[in-house]
Chains A and B, each alone.
Chain A
């Protein structure tokens, strides 16, 4: 910060150069006057500079408050994210129920005797109808997934805008010790989760490694 402009002190320096010997009380008073006059202009410049910087900081804070408001964090925290969580839980329940229903049908057919073809056919028809009904979960889960995707897009758009406006830089590290220990566990135990298509090896690739 270049606040200490040399020109503020020129008169003071000039005075000191002229008066080096036989310093009187009058000289001291004069020195004080020159000092006060020189520093006055210095402090005026300093005030203007600080005022400008404080005004810029205030504008930045105001702009940041606006951007944080645009993030709609309370709406995300209180409404959208919990709703998305409920949708995902409902999807898990629906797929689990459908899977159980289908598996029960399969197990019933596997256990059934085929000595009476007509009875066996009737059982197959009945269980197949139950399987068809169970498969209707796919339509509803598709709609639920669409709602979750919409929420993710909503968050993505706001976070991306916020990051751009704030020129945010990522800081390494973790928010909590729990987050750190989860990340370390994943790395240590190779918990990568199911890869996307083309990102992992298929069974033939595995078999080559074991060959």
Chain B
């Protein structure tokens, strides 16, 4: 399945530097419509206002974590099909398994490179 490069992407991270890195990488990959949010609750508001084609979220944020955001997204009938990639330093096996059970489409461990992000995005849209 070809990836629609014009689809809006929402990047969720509480570190501006990481948002900037992911935004630049996405730009390099061809994505132009990239928004950001600093935690799960801010992301949820944006997701309910605009239709995003992909969510790329950190795990460890306050007040709402990326894990909570993922569960909210999957339990919301209007958002449940939104592709969701977790990009996080939380790399214990229990985290990965919990995210998979909660319905994450893919999981990237920080620090990561452009190739990994590209591969995972492709894999999500090939599902």
Question: CB-CB < 8 A to B107: which residues of A?
Answer: 206, 209-210
Contact of B106 among A96, A192, A205, A210 (CB under 8 A): A210
Report the Cα distance A194→B116, complex, angstroms. 19
Q: In the complex, what's the smallest C-beta–C-beta distance from A196 to chain B, in angstroms? A: 11
A103→B96 contact, CB < 8 A: no
Rank and list the top 4 A-B pairs by shortest CB-CB distance, nearest first: A200-B91, A194-B89, A203-B109, A206-B107
Once the chains are docked, how many angstroms separate the CA of A107 from the CA of B25?
11
B82 lies within 8 A of chain A by Cβ: no
- Say yes or no: is A2 at the interface (Cβ < 8 Å to chain B): no
Interface check B93, CB cutoff 8 A: yes
Question: Closest approach, in angstroms, between the C-beta of A73 and any C-beta of chain B?
Answer: 30
Nearest CB in chain A: distance from B49 CB, A: 25
Kindly specify which of B2-10, B16-24, B29-37 makes contact with the partner chain.
Answer: B16-24
Q: Is the CB of A195 within 8 A of B24?
A: no
Residues of B within 8 A of A194 (CB): 89-91, 110
Judging by beta carbons under 8 Å apart, are B92 and A195 in contact? Answer: yes
Contact A201 B93 (CB under 8 A): yes
Query: In the complex, how many residues of chain B place their beta carbon closer than 8 angstroms to a beta carbon of chain A?
Result: 28
Whether, in the assembled complex, A190 has its beta carbon less than 8 Å from a beta carbon of chain B, the answer is yes
- Whether B90 lies near A192 (C-beta < 8 A) is yes
- Contact flag A201-B65 (CB < 8 Å), given A103-B20, A103-B24: no
Contact status A103-B17, CB under 8 Å? yes
The interface of chain A, by Cβ under 8 A from chain B, is 96, 99-100, 103, 106-107, 110, 189-195, 199-203, 205-206, 209-210
A195 to B65, CA, bound (A): 18
Q: Which of B68, B90, B97, B110 contacts A209 (CB 8 A)?
A: B97
Q: Give the A-binding residues of B (Cβ under 8 A).
A: 17, 20-21, 24, 28, 59-60, 65, 67-68, 89-98, 100, 106-110, 112, 116
CA distance A97 to B112 in the complex (A): 21
10 contacts between A and B (CB under 8 A): A96-B17, A110-B24, A190-B92, A190-B95, A191-B59, A194-B110, A199-B92, A206-B91, A210-B100, A210-B107
Q: Please state if B60 and A201 are interface contacts (CB–CB under 8 Å).
A: no
A192 pairs with B20, CB closer than 8 A: no
- State whether A190 touches B17 (Cβ < 8 A): no
A169 to chain B, nearest CB (A): 30
Rounded to whole angstroms, the CA-CA distance of A205 and B90 in the bound complex is 13
Query: Which residue from chain A places its CB closest to the CB of B93 in the assembled complex?
Result: A201
Known A-B contacts A189-B65, A189-B68, A190-B95; the reply to A206 vs B90 at CB < 8 A is no
Which partner residue on chain B sits nearest A95 by CB separation? B17
Query: B92: which of A96, A110, A201, A203 is its contact (CB, 8 Å)?
Result: A201
In the docked arrangement, what's the CA distance between A180 and B60, Å?
18
Q: How far is the CB of A16 from chain B (nearest CB, A)?
A: 75
Chain B residues whose C-beta falls within 8 Å of the C-beta of A192 in the assembled complex = 90, 92, 94-95
Is B24 a contact partner of A107 (Cβ separation < 8 A)?
A: yes
Q: In whole angstroms, how far apart are the Cα atoms of A103 and B22 in the complex?
A: 12
Closest chain A CB from B29 CB (angstroms): 13
Complex alpha-carbon distance, A189 and B69, angstroms: 11
Taking A106-B24, A193-B60, A203-B109 as contacts, is the C-beta distance between A209 and B17 under 8 angstroms?
no
CA separation between A189 and B89, bound complex, in Å?
14
